[in-house]
Amino acid sequence: MNILIQIARILVGGLFIFSGLVKLNDPMGMAFKLHDYFAPDVLNLAFLNDYTLPIALGVILFEIILGTALLIGYKVKWTLRSILALIVFFTFLTFYSAYFNKVTDCGCFGDAIPLNPWQSFSKDVILLVLILFLFSGAQHIKPLLSPGLMKLKMISATLVSALLGWYVLEHLPFIDFRPYAVGKSIPEGMKSAEEMGLEPTQYGTIYTLENESGEKITVNSDDYISEKWWEKPEWVIQENQTQSVLIKEGYEPPVHDFSVILNDIDVTEEVLNQEWIFLLPIRQLSKANKEGIAMLRDWVKVNEDLQIKTLGLTASGGDEMINFVIDEQIPFSLANLDETTLKTMIRSNPGVILLYKGTVMGKWHYNDLPSREELESLM
């Protein structure tokens, strides 16, 4: 029994620390995921949207702290209760996402190990069982260090984790797992399954139909066609209840919605075929860091003589774009791009990405804008 408890202790504690560290590499990514969960059609907690980043950081730090506490045997009862509360919360979220098909990736391990909702739920159920098992043998979980050393260990884990989180937010993730990482080709990432010679993901549609008496039935798209349900006027499709369901997993292009619109003209091909081009993502103009914008503006002016095309990218539009260009004295054109794509491209708002014929050669936070020497070494 004691050996099994120690194995479970190591598995649970280690997994909590690993999960926290992976997310600590990119806390902004978890904040974006929380934003998805708080959406009106999911948990309807939109009032929390302005606090997603501190909530994300809090959860990440809590995971690391609890994992560390379990491994060294610090305040065992409090640790087990806290871990149980956290895993119950995560299990609810992942079940809700899986059953109602609301959020397709829980973000449990960030972008490093993407899990679909049912995989995430299964992982949480296994963890829940292990944690309940630890409760049954809590008397076997003994402190590994003296009280003073354990407190020092806990304080150190908290401070180091907090500093790492701060550093990543002030710069960029240590490891970029996204399809716009340095060295990645955007055109290659956009290729379809057919172009890659692979099997594509297959989806189906589930229709909800209702007759005049209020009776409802569900019909999949294949049956709807083969049984000619459109020829049965007594049954009406309830458009707001139509669902898309996964039939078979296959290859999906990692780059989605990369469509650059400049002055109502699609210039995506021109951007990707450009020999050298600076892309300056500013996903939301109203939320962009003001000091970062000033630094970016000055950096662009200093490097004008490199004669490299420079293009700003934003999800904002209309008068907001016009006023922003005037108020901030922006020395480059602004084009539109999907906001989710901008979030995926770079975690800095604003930031700089250097492309060579569609391949990412460099990526910088506004706090780390490249020097002339660094740029010349890449070109």
Q: Which of 290, 293, 284 is nearest to 352 (CA)?
A: 293
Check pLDDT > 60 for residue 291: yes
Instruction: Please tell me the CATH code under which domain 261-378 is placed.
Output: 3.40.30.10
Q: Are residues 236 and 321 in contact, defined by beta-carbon separation less than 8 angstroms?
A: no
| Mean pLDDT of the 80-106 span | 81
pLDDT by residue (tens digit) across 194-205? 888 888 888 888
pLDDT of residue 109: 61
For 265, phi then psi, to 5°, come to -120, 135
pTM above 0.75, yes or no: yes
Per DSSP, the three-state class of 132 is: helix
Q: Taken in order 327, 331, 334, 339, is the CA torsion positive or negative?
A: negative
Residues near 239 by beta carbon (within 8 Å), at least 6 away in sequence:
none
Task: With cut-offs at 50, 70 and 90, classify the pLDDT of residue 143.
Answer: confident
Nearest by Cα to 262 from 329, 330, 332: 332
Residue with tokens 């904040």: 31
Burial of 265 (0-12, 13-18, 19+ CB in 10 A): exposed
User: For residue 110, what pLDDT band results from cuts at 50, 70 and 90?
Assistant: low
220, 203 contact by CB (below 8 A) = no
User: Can you name the residues that pair with 352 across neighbouring β-strands?
Assistant: 364
Nearby residues of 327 by Cβ (< 8 Å), 6 or more positions away = none
Domain boundaries, the chain: 2-170, 202-248, 261-378
Instruction: Indicate whether 230 pLDDT > 90.
Output: no
